[in-house]
Structure 1
């Protein structure tokens, strides 16, 4: 139990630590006046239940004196980072996203992906990037335009012959080739300009150089430059401009729900949105989150600190916080409030929208019932990881017509109907394998483009169907999605499980919860496919009938198909409704109903 002799505690700035009997650090705090701050724990007439619990478990208090309040703030952040006390505000997700490092002081700089910025480093850094894979893809494309070295300095000194990258024209091989530093620097400057958001200006400069080479009859070099320009234009399509000025900034938003606080940080560099990070903080005392604690914990992990940081409100000790961040980054940092700047409004709206999605996904993820189910899925389906996004694909057709595919999606055990999809089969192949290949291929291709691939895809079928789905994945080089095939019995209940690389199927255990879940998913996929096939057949039948009616041309047919789902609905529609359709009148409406009746009777 906490027992303090306040007279012995100095009236000076510093940091204090609450410790348990075992010496565990339970809480770290800082104060401008240690005696005044610690006296609140003794003299306060009412304490929250969580704070009372902390004090009951505290056996001793240690404190460290500092010269200034700013030094106390920095020491507090360092001690929280070191001890991770359970009663302090802690980041649950404090991972570092990848950065691009260019050591410009080296003779022949390379492009390096790192997770932390070295203090005092003279290299250039760009980022953070949300996806390491996405950054590698960008660098892969850029290497066609700017073939910089890939090996380390040590490898470069040892090498006597060019590596494979030189053979495929993705490296100039400065290790063995007499390349001037000036020529190589042009390449490095091009990469820097690209990541500074000057891609369009860079393309313009390269085009001018290409025309100059062509005029001087250096056609081979001009053609090489032309190809570089085309590759660079493709890469530029991946960048999203969010500001009309080349600003560097981080924009923060947060929201509190019950005892949980959710945060999002948008990373804008040179006016381009590089990515964002979301995280939930642990605040055991249940108080309002101290922004300065969260911000210091976030940036003290070696992250790049931009010159401007926009927050939803003014934090405590704003000036001290700016001073510490300035020291960490080596440049002046300004903390601003996002609602005061009109240019930032579009970013703030974007941040709030993504924060709501994050909160929703976190709530779903915390459902306890799904935790057990996901473990069963890994065990029974022999998966490499617990699946959060599960999709199922089924096919349907009517005697070779109305050929369709359907995809349903479940997120942590619940249907996510916004991600359900229908597929009209476009290919000529009418067998199940050709149809399935097309649906899986189209789904994965869209997933790669939109970065929303599922964790697991269940296929309705047997070994051949599984192999077909795997082939579609291999053709697109998709490795992060797992496939399983579910064969049903005569009662259309899931029975056999087909796994890649295994010749014979496994029988699904009917006594496990996962069996009923798989049955639910596959039934939903079958229902969705069948319903869509029926609607497609009705549309095809209606289209065929309308084609035979005089006075109903392509435009009027299109209007009818948009407003009515089947023949019966048109027949039951009042003449007034039909005559008010675009391109229709009362005479055409009467003719349409009369001719439809004749078609039915014949």
Structure 2
């Protein structure tokens, strides 16, 4: 059977500092476990990092929350596409796991819904907390915020003038009530409006609640701009708040989109570690996730890894798992047709293993990939993992002490232009991002990586030679003998002789796990086994240096071109940029929006919305 993910903790106390350092700021669900692996609490968050961080502040916690935090031994997170999806997943997990602190605290409450009654001619539109099966009618929700629902109901009643009274009050009216007098209702109780006209209003309101009609938002935005032009700023602010509430209410319940049962499998690998995430979808709802870190051989491709994993996942052990109709995978699985046939026979019904999917299933697969990458980052940053690798690195390089500070350098440019050098720093806790530095390289021949490496190392370590700055215990150079020789020349010029210099070359095949390490002092070239924890740490440092250099180079290039964040996205011209800014109020609003919400902007297709989302989140 696949091995479940190891908890991200050190013995005795949860390592919150390192966990929070890598935690995503996207919406999602978090699950807290005790030392026995028992669930303690399930919560949702609009911003996972901010929400989970609040549990570990030094003061201001309620006694019950302090008791909860004292028992935390590990935390697992699942990233979702929106806060509403997080709410739906949270509901499912609370119902299935029954965490004790959810019952003791406040998360067993009912969530808010909008209810459209089943009256044949004149249905009402009302706020309800909790959903029931009595009375028929149509339910919209659940929604994260009752305040947003109530405010938006007020707006909907102003626009569509749909009644909000209960059935007994409606049946016993013989003249219009105050709602009619203030133009909030068309008085269907005394038939001032025909059933056909009223049903037209109901149809439009329903379309809006289903996210199919953003016209009202555009009208409100026009009113907001008109009020601002007249210097009526309070009225403009009121319109702005109404727009925000309406956007919140019309957020599509994409978890309930297509329905169906599926297991969504994603894979991510970095620094010699493979993470596989399984998202379980039943009846169109995400019921939960599970993380695995299987061991693998260097020669295996992702397709071969998934084939091996799926075979063990569904057929390994004494108890077979439930086999859904669809198993979604990001890459072609080795022996995919044979595996699908075996699953079909075991389930006694048609089961498909597929990756070329559209619509909601494609979004599930993308969500699974995001979770796999986030889980892998958290695992790599765990104190246990880093410490084990540090010990292996010390033994590999025959160092007298375990290194507590390591630095790595890389160069990035586009055909020699806008050259940037990166320096990343790792300590005993993993990446030390506060000490990362970018260096703009000037005055060298375009494309001369040797000169660029000489400049950045000289600038970095000149201060160290003068007794300033922090001294590393080990320095890595991303490159072969040429770059490493430059580094050694710089160290000789600055009279630095007590810092080991190691070059990390990609090797002949340029494949991960086949790297060659070069010792600058002896010139020795050696390879390390692909499963070595020391090599995994070196790969992590090297990859992080490469990523940071590319990010810095792109930022410098875009700044030089004087482009805004949106200008660099293919397919987003001036008109679409204007519509995006107008709809969301600014770039931060666009960053917070999901793909479905971006696609509601006039002129933005679903495909372009996915491109915009990926560009703004560096995916």
TM-score, normalisation: structure 1: 0.29
Computing the radius of gyration from Cα coordinates, the structure with the larger value is 1
- Higher normalized contact order (CA 8 Å, seq sep 6+, divided by chain length): 2
